Amino acid sequence: MNAINFLGIVYMAIDCFSHFAVPLFILISGFVLYNKYSGKIEIKKFYERRLMSVLPQYLIFSTFYIGTTYIGSIILAKSLNLDIPKIVYFYVTGGSEYHLWFFILIIQLYILYPALIGIYNFCHSRGKSAELLLLVFLMGVIYNVYPMPDVFILGKSTRILETLTKFIPYLFYFILGIIIRNRYEELLRKSISKKSIYCISVLIFCYTFCGIFFYAENYFNIDISKILPIIGDYSKWVSATISPLYYVSIFALFFYISLHIVNQKGMFFDLLKKIGNYSFGIYLIHVFIMTVLLQVFPRFGLDWNNWLFYPLIFCLTLTFSIISVDVIKRLPYSKYIIGSTR
């Protein structure tokens, strides 16, 4: 964007708020895995099932995005250097397209799950689940404040160490998901008062507002220490500590809303259910569709500084993604391309 205006502030607020998505997915992953594998695990069978549910799709779409990047550079007459080591690096780090890093994270958690569930069961049997959750919380905070250094490979700076340890700041959400599953029936019996919901909403609003300043620091090179001198010098620590609590507050709010939607049902529920069934494929394909739209829209005078740009991009990306998944699912062995759409 060109400047900090009302549109820019709204965009930064939405950006700050929407980052709960990956932590929530990791929490749900912990919940679902513990629901199915809470005791002794048949290691070979577990790895075969879990890796086959993500690895073929990851490799196919990594290849697809590398290919489209190469073709796009030819069409747009841009220079592109794709040597073999760089392509291998893309596959290893999820770098073929920006959203594919998420698969590296999921694969790491699948690989570590037998060890993690062993540690959790050991702590749970001794009444130390809360201590384990606190430990992984602190590990995540320290990791986000002091990220892994770059490593030089073949004379080039790489983030391979950061990639290999990507799971560390997400262990808090994963373990939290396991704990929630362990006490889920008890949690469902507890009613959430409207007063609690209002308090949670206020907290979410306050942090989202503060988050705008952190985003302005990144997007517009604003010196946050001059605007918020109290936390300016400790902004990394404040952000790393509060962010998980912020996301958990959003989880609680959305859980309350989702229960209401499920009870009411209706057209909105049916739409969300369809998006849920197609979500894996939507996630894989949506970046390609959005990239095409981002090339087309400016030709019609619509860019990042236009209010209409955002809802149009969102609605068209979602619509074309659903249509694409609907077409692909009819192909043989489609589950290896876009996952199951049941």
Round to whole Å and give the CA distance between 241 and 145: 9
Q: What is the pLDDT of residue 154?
A: 63
The structure tokens listed for 222 are 């604003």
Round to whole Å and give the CA distance between 169 and 26: 11
Q: How far is CA 275 from the centre of its chain?
A: 16
* Average pLDDT value for residue range 294-318: 91
For 40-94, the pLDDT digits (tens) are 899 999 999 999 999 999 999 999 999 988 887 777 667 777 778 888 888 999 9
pTM (two decimals): 0.90
Q: From the CB of residue 84, how many other CB atoms can be counted at a distance below 10 Å?
A: 7
For 235-269, the pLDDT digits (tens) are 788 889 999 999 999 999 998 888 888 888 778 88
- First CA to last CA across the chain, in angstroms? 40
Strand partners, 157: 152
Round to whole Å and give the CA distance between 108 and 165: 9
Q: Which residue from 69, 57, 70 is spatially nearest to 97, judged by alpha carbons?
A: 69
| Residues 152, 157, 160: CA angle, nearest 5 degrees | 75
For 317-329, the pLDDT digits (tens) are 999 999 999 999 9
The structure tokens listed for 268 are 């909105």
Task: Return the half-sphere exposure (C-beta side, CA atoms, 13 A cut-off) of residue 268.
Answer: 8
C-beta separation of 114 from 41 below 8 A: yes
Dihedral of the alpha carbons of 145, 94, 8, 26, in degrees to the nearest 10: -70
User: Measured between alpha carbons, how far is residue 11 from residues 96, 211, 260 in Å?
Assistant: 26, 11, 28
